[in-house]
Structure 1
């Protein structure tokens, strides 16, 4: 009988342990990264030209590890990748080679946003060429679509940690180029009714919703009233993160409180990540990163966005006979005074600029 009693006590303890374990919350966390404008001028793609085609990988060599490590990395493809068959082109109507998309995927980019003021630069053929290539290589895209059904498919990326993230993308306009009649799917314009509808669908399909806006004034280092209002609009709808593009320079980040009391993480502009522009602040961009945490407790899921960080980057290049060439993206903290006079002071200034409304933002110094 003593033996039976001991067995009973052990079984009881095991049951209590199992019950206690089931009450403990299960926590999963992923990192998401985003980069700013990929604005591929002719001087940039000419640098990438090889005998076999185009290779942009050397330009990303110094920063690619920061793009590969996160569970999801997204990029703003400012210039359509319509391929060489229709002819490459630069400002004011851009078209970039397919190899750029393949290289982005190779360095860790999982999704590109396509809604911007240059989406219609080379017409429907460039959009279709670009989308066909993205589909060929398995690169996800949003903001520009091949048809209405494609537009209605909300892009959701499911991570290995079972955290799902929806991505939406919209632009203020298309540089005066009219959207072809009956083909509104070619580019998502900023339309509050449509955005609200898309967000509501996205929130049913994913744990987290990220909205990319192409908005603001070019070269202005602070968001304007329209940007503030659109960020608030997204926050009131419960969007988790807003990522902005178009100004081509960095703008400060902040938390925006929605009408439901939740906070939305807002990056108003991530500047240029890679471009052929030569003014100082247009050469400084960065890699924005944040954590998404899912806690599961007694069948209830709680999502939290936290720990925002930012790695400032700098586009270095050489001048040969007055021409810009040999482009390379570098962590700003590694730039020397030879590449950028008073580089340390510039890093400090960017540090202060980016976190003036978000003191907890970690500015990464390699």
Structure 2
């Protein structure tokens, strides 16, 4: 009889592997449980920790480039507007973010430069803003359509070339649908919206509503809803009001309140070409909205006294986070009044008013105090930048 020889080695090996596997699973289970407890503990600690961060934002008035301004900026090889902004450069570079209202399209010299009433400005205006620290420009205003679609498309192409965020005028429908949101290194995001009351009687070409955002309450509400979902804070530019009027009219006040009720954090007004007061509005949900009804002219060749005074609004945005909850507040509003200095339509310079002497402006000190009183009449706590 032949006997079958059965080796027990494979059986023992198999049993050993099973035991090791089970032990491994137990160890893994323990480690997984320990990790889970540690993770939950870390989350709980994080939820109980209040995190605060803040940024500063600056916004300037109208960049209204009349012919004397671009003639004064002309060089052998083109145009250079940076010397005109040299005295205010430090104030534009100091904040985390700076915004400008570019009232004239920078369609470039090849299109043919032009002045009032239908403007077209050199590309170099944008280059100068970039050089002095501006991060975004608002483009919806009554001069947006002055030189038609070509000027807008050429301007946008240049803004994109120099990596400048723009809002209020767009290259196509998809571009218009894209709400502009700027992410800061501090972890606070800002959405920019821009609208105008009209375009000096020039109609928007049929099917090209994207060329300029007009003040339409339904559209503003739709854009605001998207912007609030995408960003921590929403800054709205409204081109409205009456030219050369130093106080906001009822239409401005009512539209500003409507925008505040929608949840805007800051409303920046343009168009009157003179300064109008700053104030707080309370929205429907109790939220405080900072409003500057008009920032006046920043760089222009307008001649009337108050047309030569503009400024820069500055404020802080503070974000307080705890767990999944985050609260954003606008704080510390401050203002830098500026004066447009020039002689015989040459040597244009934007100067801080606090630093003016009687050489640049007769009765400079009294003029400055009067402007401060005008701006702060509805906000006594408004601070002024004076260094």
TM-score strictly above 0.5: yes
| Structure 1 counterpart of 2:369 | 348
Q: Match for 2:65 among 40, 43, 55? A: 40
| Match in the other structure for 2:196 | 171
Cα distance in 2, alignment partners of residues 211 and 190 from structure 1: 11
2:225 paired with 1:204? no
CA-based RMSD of the aligned residues comes to 1.5
Does 2:321 correspond to 1:296? yes
Moved more, 48-57 or 330-339: 330-339
* Aligned twin of 2:160: 135
Q: Which 5+ residue runs of structure 1 have no aligned equivalent?
A: 1-15
| d(CA) in 1 for partners of 2:343, 2:267 | 35
For 1:17 and 1:242, the matched residues in 2 are separated by 40
Tell me the SS of whatever aligns to 2:87: coil
Distance 1:20 1:143, change over 3 A: closer
Q: Distance in 2 between matches of 1:296 and 1:156?
A: 20
Match of 2:151 among 120, 126, 141: 126
Would you say 1:50 and 2:71 are equivalent positions? no
Aligned to 1:102: 127
Aligned to 2:171: 146
Retained in 1: the 8 A contact 2:46–2:323? Answer: no
Larger Rg belongs to? 2
Instruction: Give runs of ≥4 in structure 1 deviating > 3 Å.
Output: 16-22
Provide the secondary structure at the position in 1 that maps to 2:170: coil
TM-score of the two chains, using structure 1 as the length reference: 0.93
Task: Give yes or no for the alignment of 1:358 onto 2:383.
Answer: no
Distance 2:43 2:325 in 1: 19
SS class of match (2:206): coil
Superposition pairs for residues 1-366 of structure 1, below 5 Å? 23-319=48-344, 324-366=345-387
Please report how far the alpha carbon of residue 17 of structure 1 lies from its aligned counterpart in structure 2 after TM superposition: 12
The CA distance in 2 between the partners of 1:258 and 1:21, in whole Å, is 31
CA distance in 2, matches of 1:185, 1:49: 33
Q: CA deviation at 1:338?
A: 1.6
SS of equivalent residue, structure 2 residue 95: coil
CA distance in 2 between counterparts of 1:38 and 1:81 reads: 11
SS of the residue 1:43 aligns to: helix
Distance of 1:173 and 1:326 partners within structure 2: 33
Cα–Cα, structure 1 residues 17 and 209, in superposed 2: closer, same or farther, change >3 Å?
Answer: closer
Decide whether the 8 Å contact of 2:47 with 2:324 is kept in 1.
Answer: no
Change (3 A) 1:22 1:257: closer
How many equivalent pairs are there?
348
Q: Counterpart of 1:169 in 2: which secondary structure? A: strand
Q: Which SS does the other structure have where 2:70 is aligned?
A: helix
Instruction: Return the alpha-carbon distance in structure 2 between the equivalents of residues 18 and 193 of structure 1.
Output: 41
Scaled by the length of structure 2, what TM-score is found?
0.88
1:298: how far off?
2.7
How many angstroms apart in 2 are the aligned matches of 1:101 and 1:337? 32
CA spacing shift, 1:146–1:349, aligned 2, 3 Å: same
Q: For residues 22 and 80 of structure 1, what CA distance do their matches in structure 2 show?
A: 48
Residues 1:274 and 1:21: Cα distance change in structure 2 (over 3 Å):
same
* Deviation readout 1:322-342 (Å, 9 max, x if unpaired): xx1110001001111121110
Provide the C-alpha distance between the structure 2 equivalents of 1:179 and 1:264, rounded to a whole number of angstroms: 31
TM-aligned CA deviation for residue 299 of structure 1: 2.8
Gap regions ≥5 residues in structure 2: 1-40
